[in-house]
Structure 1
Amino acid sequence: MKIVVTADTHLPKKSRGLPEELRIDLLKSDLIIHAGDFQTIEIYQQLKDFGELIAVAGNVDHPDLKELLPQKMIIEKKGLKIGLVHGDGAGKTTEKRALETFQHDDVGVIIFGHSHIPFSRYQNGIFLFNPGSPTDKRKLPYFSHGILTIGDSWKIEHKFYV
Structure 2
Amino acid sequence: MGKNVKLGILGDTHYPDKTSHLPDLIFNVFKSEKVDLILHTGDLTAPEVLERLTEISPTIAVKGNLDQTTLPEEKILEINNLKIGLIHGHQFLSLDEQILKYKALEMGVDILIFGHTHRFFYNKYEYMGKEVILFNPGSPTVPRMSDPTFVVGEITERKFKFRIFKPWETQWKHP
Q: How many residues align?
A: 157
State how far apart, in whole Å, the 1-side matches of 2:36 and 2:50 are.
17
Q: How big is each residue's C-alpha offset from its partner over 1:86-144, in whole Å with a ceiling of 9 and x where there is no partner?
A: 0013532254443333332321100000000100001322100000001112332x210
State how far apart, in whole Å, the 2-side matches of 1:89 and 1:71 are.
9
Residue of structure 1 in register with 2:166 after alignment: 160
- 1:1-162 equivalences under 5 Å are 1-27=5-31, 28-62=34-68, 65=69, 67=70, 69-93=71-95, 95-123=97-125, 124=127, 125-140=131-146, 142-152=147-157, 153-162=159-168
- Contact 1:88–1:94 (CA under 8 A) maintained in structure 2: no
Q: How big is each residue's C-alpha offset from its partner over 1:37-59, in whole Å with a ceiling of 9 and x where there is no partner?
A: 00122222222122100111100
- Contact 1:119–1:132 (CA under 8 A) maintained in structure 2: yes
SS in 2 for 1:14: coil
Amino acid at match of 1:136: V
Deviation at 1:156, TM superposition (A): 2.8
Unaligned runs of 5+ in 2: 169-175
State how far apart, in whole Å, the 1-side matches of 2:48 and 2:100 are.
26
Deviation at 1:159, TM superposition (A): 2.2
Q: How big is each residue's C-alpha offset from its partner over 1:56-77, in whole Å with a ceiling of 9 and x where there is no partner?
A: 1100001xx1x2x110111001
- Contact 1:94–1:114 (CA under 8 A) maintained in structure 2: no
Q: Relative to 1, partners in 2 of residues 1:21 and 1:42: Cα closer, same or farther, differing over 3 Å?
A: closer
Amino acid at match of 2:151: G
SS in 2 for 1:127: strand
SS in 1 for 2:100: helix
Amino acid at match of 1:22: I
TM-score normalized with structure 1 length: 0.86
Task: Output the aligned Cα RMSD.
Answer: 1.8
Residue of structure 1 in register with 2:173 after alignment: none
Deviation at 1:31, TM superposition (A): 0.8
State how far apart, in whole Å, the 2-side matches of 1:92 and 1:135 are.
23
Residue of structure 1 in register with 2:172 after alignment: none
